[in-house]
Amino acid sequence: EVTMEPEYGWLCIESIGHAGTNVHVSTTKGSVDSDFSISILTLDGQDVPGCSYQAGTVPGKIRLQEGSYRLEVASSNINDWRSAFSGKGAAAYKAQGQFDIEADMYRYVKIQAPLVNYGVRFAVDNGLYKWFKSFSIDVTESQTRKVLLLENECGWFDAPSVSVVISATNTDGDCFQSSPLNLDTQAGHLYTLHY
């Protein structure tokens, strides 16, 4: 009886970056230093044992048995981005793709992960502080999450639309509030509302 030994090749991760920014990772002692974690899965979605790496521990070279695989890459905050910055949220990134490993060969990849969410902020036009002392917006997402943003703050969301209420307080202390405005959105964008 003849038993065939499995043949192996290597996945070499050259860089992981945010889509559109060309952020390259640095290599230190053979491991990739980044804020991304990776998971290698079979094509049917099963984890490949020993091939899931947390942010900061992704090696530059991974030995794999010959075959086809799926690679999933995500920023380290992919599961808790909504709670960052006192509930205002943070940008989060995720990507996936397929690759093949051939025996005794190296497969080189560069990964660009797009945003899974979008940002909302506002700016105040020059001269308005002559009559108003403060401005803010309330952004409501899916009726379950409400975020108060002051000028120069950014909130992060992933619902297909949000409701925005603009508030301002004048120098006499009188408060003004807009009717709710619906903002239709797409992941990967930063929306700036202007007073």
Whether this model's pTM surpasses 0.85: no
Mean of the per-residue pLDDT values for the chain? 88
Contact 168, 193 (CB under 8 A): no
Segment 125-150 shows an average pLDDT of 93
Which pLDDT score is estimated for 155?
Answer: 97
Residue 36 contacts residue 16 (beta carbons within 8 Å): yes
Rounded mean pLDDT of 24-52? 73
What band does 99 get if pLDDT is binned at 50, 70 and 90? very high
Residue 29 phi, psi (nearest 5) = 50, 40
pLDDT at 1: 67
Residue 4 has pLDDT above 90, yes or no: no
Pick from 19-33, 47-61, 95-109: least confident = 19-33
* Beta-carbon contacts of residue 151 (< 8 Å; ≥ 6 apart): 122, 123, 124, 135, 136
Distance, CA of 72 to CA of 49 (rounded, Å) = 14
What tokens does 112 get?
Answer: 């660009």
Residue 51 clears pLDDT 50, i.e. is over it = yes
The 3-state DSSP composition of the chain as helix, strand, coil percent (nearest 5) reads 5, 55, 35
Q: Is the pLDDT of residue 29 over 70?
A: no
Whether 111 has a pLDDT exceeding 60, the answer reads yes
Q: DSSP letter for 102, please.
A: -
Which pLDDT score is estimated for 6? 82
pLDDT band (50, 70, 90) for residue 5:
confident
Residue 144 has a pLDDT of 87
More confident residue, 31 or 41: 41
